[in-house]
Structure 1
Amino acid sequence: MPDTRLTSLRCPPLNMHGFGAVSAYGWGTKALIEGLAGGHHAATYGSHLGPGTVPFWMAPVPAPGEDNGEQTRYAEAVRYVADEAIESALESGWRPGPAVCVILTSARGDLEASSDLHLSESELSLRRRYVRALPSTLLSSVAQQYGFNGPSMFLSAACAGGVTALHVGRSLLMTGAATDVVVIGADIGVDHPSVHSLAALGPLQLDEPPDRVCRPFDASSKGFSIGEGAGALVMSPRPSQARTQLLATAAANDHYHATSLRPDASVAIAAASRAIQDAGLDRHDVSGYLAHGSGTPQCSRLESDVLRELPNLRRVSALKPLLGHCRSASPILEIAALSASAVEHLPPPGGLPSTLDQPDGAESGVQHWLHAAFGFGGNISFGVLRQTPAGDATPAAAETAAR
């Protein structure tokens, strides 16, 4: 790979202290990990757009255990994953700095709140529902609960939003605008126009389960099933015993087409190279790949071109055949699952079949993963992760011992 680094500040490795997850497997990271470990997809066939509507395959988030009044499912999931991630980080020893940033990323936002805005009957209800539909309201509620005073923002980069949010958060840490970052990715709720329009475009498959239609890098793959999900994580540059670190990121846009990426993958390859080099690594050091893995022929071709630049791959993982395409939430859920595999001595989830000619053998020691996310509008983002299995010294601990 050529040297494609842009002039930038250096950033230390960012420790990922806590995770939160809501998926079609249930509420909580435990439900996510147990569901993935079972190896069966989380989708169901039913009238997901309401009683009497045409049934289709989807991986919906189940109803929460209790009624929280006026909160939408989206808002409830965002608050749940934020609380789970932050409380988990605090329990692990993380202490918030003076400027904790909160970033919420979503492809469509709170569809239920936006829809309700047009159904209000009174002026008071209209005001309340308008405020409820604003992404800033959710961000503010998280920051207020924990006393965070750093910047907060809503970000949309289509289905690349999860990794793009990591990139933005890392940039804020590099410049000193934030001391810690909470990243939340959420896409919960579908409507008739979006489902049937996306199906008409081609990538969304409605009539077969995800494990049949979504087979990344396989010639028989047709696309993906839609999924719902929310994920959150806390990252900080301060030393810790975290098993997963973010070493570098890169974000780009090829400005090729509203729904497609450049067929030659040149911009994606350059962005991947930039992330790897910014992490202080060589392409030979990358042994794992967390695929965007949407299962579309275009995505498989593009990612195959990226994989050819990584000669020492031992594992390629993709979770959309199990979780469905959860859009902005997908990358955060993928990192949560990867991190859990390090703690629990489990193989990384979502391993793809041997059609990729991956060498056999279990991973051990510190592993470097390239994490990919792509989205409509030409959005491209990559992250480089370092994973340390339980029982091995974390990089921070090893540095301390060396002193």
Structure 2
Amino acid sequence: MTIAGIGVVSGYGWGREALWHGLLSGKSAARLYPGYGPERDEYAWVARLPDGGDPAISPSRYGRAVHESAREAIADATGRGWRPGRTVGLLHAIVLGDVYEWRDFYTVDQGHRRSRDYLRLLPSTPISVVMQEFGFHGPSMNVSAACSSANVALITAKLWLDQGFADDVICVTTDLSGSPEMVEHFVRMGAAVSDTEPLEACRPFQEGSRGFGFGEASVAFVATRAADRPYVRVLGGAMTNDAHHVVSVEPSLAQIYECARRALDFADVRPAEVTYYNAHGPGTEQCAVAETALLREVFADGPLIYSIKPMTGHCMGAAAGVEVAAAALGYERGVVPAPPIVATAHPRLLDGPAPFAGGVTVKTSLGMGGHNSVLVLGPA
């Protein structure tokens, strides 16, 4: 499976070029916003999605973001020589859906809206609107696997293509959950940090990391068996579940190791052939322990490491989507868009944007509830 088109809406702005230039700038997408904290009287660092998009599509940022990322990916793929096959499917990776609109539905509208305004809350609506605009009639569904959702959507797309279930698949992954209510609870759990600029607080594979900053994004890919000028090839992938706890990683890490080994087997790639490790890397202690051990046990500390979460924030259900988009753009443009190192770090951690050396990239994504996923990417 190849990725033939990319569309991105992120904290850096609307469009994949905004993401790319933001990553190369060395500056986080986060800004200070008021109205956070338990009493809603604090400012918080959040990489929220700015206003934008086509107002004719939806009054909701969420609906506009879904649609604009899909539009950009399809236009990008078309410009690179892709032509839709007979059966084009759509996978939408989500976790909570349109958080802001659901909040307003209950707290502002008291649960009462016109039917037209209510329907845009439903997870089926963004899919339907995209399918209608482009006249796609293939299989369509939502995919949800916590913060692993975007990886899982791409793995599912590969399964559909490999089985002939679809000729092409539009993968969209969207998460706009940087609301005060969401941030408050993740801060209280000790996972998120909102009181410090993200590059200082979120230090994956570095000393002094306190956790992740929140980010928002919608990212779309056109996945197909072959294309004239694809960005990258998805060689394989795998999923496992710890079956241990709703938040904590299972201490033996057995299922994370198993997930990585199965992904490499499906991709027909040996650990020594992996050049880059595009980490889940949220900057939390338990994920740092897990991924450091994975690098040692499965990859013999061979790959170069990077995580873009200090730049984009942790985009929850869309996190792996943003990270795969960054990796795929890097394959084409010859640059690995790594953040700068700010503290004592793992010896294989990249320090800022670096020349791309080619080869295979492993992309891990570890979601709450024990959702483990690994993608293996290679040159197109």
Superposition TM-score, scaled by structure 1 size? 0.87
The equivalent of 1:385 in structure 2 is: 377
- Note the C-alpha offset of 1:364: 3.1
Tell me the SS of whatever aligns to 1:57.
strand
- Does residue 34 of the first structure (1) align with residue 8 of the second (2)? no
**Alpha-carbon shift at residue 45 of structure 1 (Å):** 1.8
Secondary structure at the counterpart of residue 272 of structure 2: helix
CA contact (8 A) 2:53 2:68 kept: no
Alignment match of 2:346 (pick from 349, 356, 361): 356
| Corresponding residue number in structure 2 for 1:278 | 266
Determine whether 1:255 maps to 2:243. yes
Q: Which runs of 5+ in 1 are unaligned?
A: 1-13, 388-393, 395-403
Give, in angstroms, the shift of residue 262 of structure 1. Answer: 0.8
Q: Could you list the per-position Cα deviations for residues 252-311 of structure 1 after superposition, in whole angstroms to 9, with x for gaps in the alignment?
A: 111110111112211001100000111011111111111000000000000011111213
Structure 1 distance, partners of 2:58, 2:336, is 41
Q: CA contact under 8 A between 1:117 and 1:126: conserved in structure 2?
A: no
1:16 maps to 3
Query: Are 1:334 and 2:334 an aligned pair?
Result: no
Q: Among all aligned residue pairs of Structure 1 and Structure 2, give the percentage whose two residues are the same amino acid.
A: 32
2 CA distance for matches of 1:329 and 1:108?
11
CA–CA separation in structure 2 for the residues paired with 1:324 and 1:359: 18
Provide the C-alpha distance between the structure 2 equivalents of 1:162 and 1:139, rounded to a whole number of angstroms.
15
Q: Deviations over 1:295-351 (max 9, x none)?
A: 000000000111112136342110111111111212111122122222222234337
Residue type at the aligned position of 1:174: D
Structure 2 residue 36 is the aligned partner of structure 1 residue 43: no
Q: 2:219: which partner in 1?
A: 231
In 2, the alpha carbon distance for the partners of 1:66 and 1:98 equals: 28
User: Aligned with 1:190: secondary structure?
Assistant: coil
Give, in angstroms, the shift of residue 139 of structure 1: 0.2
Match of 1:164 in 2: 152
Say whether the 8 Å CA contact 2:233–2:378 is kept in structure 1: yes
Structure 2 residues not aligned, in runs of 5+: none
Contact 1:116–1:129 (CA<8 Å) still a contact in 2?
no
Which runs of structure 2 are paired with 1:109-120 in the superposition (5 Å)? 109-118=97-106, 119-120=108-109
- Aligned residue identity for 2:319: S
Output the aligned Cα RMSD.
2.3
Q: d(CA) in 1 for partners of 2:117 and 2:263?
A: 41
* Contact 1:331/1:373 (<8 A) preserved: yes
CA distance in 2, matches of 1:359, 1:42: 21
- State the secondary structure of the residue aligned to 1:337: helix
Which amino acid in structure 1 is aligned with residue 305 of structure 2? V
Distance 1:128 1:305 in 2: 50
Query: What displacement does 1:218 show?
Result: 1.9
Distance 1:65 1:219 in 2: 39
1:122 and 1:141 map into 2 onto residues whose CA distance is: 24
State the secondary structure of the residue aligned to 1:61. coil
Residues 140 and 66 of structure 1, relative CA distance in 2, 3 Å threshold: closer
- The answer to whether structure 1 residue 375 and structure 2 residue 364 are counterparts is no
In structure 2, which of residues 94, 108, 115 is the aligned counterpart of residue 127 of structure 1?
A: 115
* Cα pair distance change 1:289/1:96, threshold 3 Å: same
Structure 2 SS opposite 1:341: helix
Counterpart-to-counterpart distance in 2, 1:356 and 1:158? 27
Q: In structure 1, how many angstroms separate the alpha carbons of the residues matched to 2:206 and 2:150?
A: 25
Aligned length: 373
Matched, 1:288 2:276: yes
Corresponding position of 1:401: none
Task: Give the 3 Å change call, closer, same or farther, for CA 278–165 of structure 1 in structure 2.
Answer: same
Q: Shift of residue 100 of structure 1?
A: 1.2
**1:201-220 equivalent positions in 2, closer than 5 A:** 201-220=189-208
Q: Is the 8 A contact 2:295 2:301 kept in 1?
A: no
Question: Are the counterparts in 2 of residues 286 and 312 from structure 1 also a CA contact under 8 Å?
Answer: no
Contact 2:306 2:349 in 1 (8 A): no
What is the alpha-carbon distance in structure 1 between the residues aligned to residue 375 and residue 367 of structure 2?
15
Change (3 A) 1:343 1:362: closer
Closer, same or farther in 2 for the Cα pair 1:91/1:209, shift >3 Å? same
Shift in alpha-carbon separation, 1:48–1:38, aligned structure 2, 3 A: farther
Structure 2 letter corresponding to 1:355? A
* Deviations 1:56-97, CA, capped at 9 Å, x for gaps: 111111111674485211111110100000110011111111
Larger Rg: 1
Structure 2 Cα separation of the partners of residues 198 and 107 of structure 1: 15
| Separation in structure 1 between the aligned mates of residue 265 and residue 35 of structure 2, nearest angstrom | 44
Match of 1:7 in 2: none
- Aligned-partner Cα distance in 2 for 1:65–1:283: 42
Kept in 1: contact 2:277–2:361 (CA 8 A) = yes
What SS is found at the alignment partner of 1:97?
coil
Structure 1 range deviating more: 58-67 or 377-386: 58-67
Q: Which moved more, 1:316-325 or 1:169-178?
A: 169-178
Task: Tell me by how many angstroms 1:174 deviates.
Answer: 2.1
Shift of 1:355: 2.9
Correspondent of 1:176 among 131, 155, 164:
164
Change in CA separation of 1:20 and 1:273 when aligned onto 2, cut-off 3 Å: same
Following superposition, the deviation at residue 49 of structure 1 comes to: 5.1
Question: What CA distance in whole angstroms lies between the structure 2 residues aligned with 1:70 and 1:182?
Answer: 20
SS in structure 2 at match of 1:287: strand
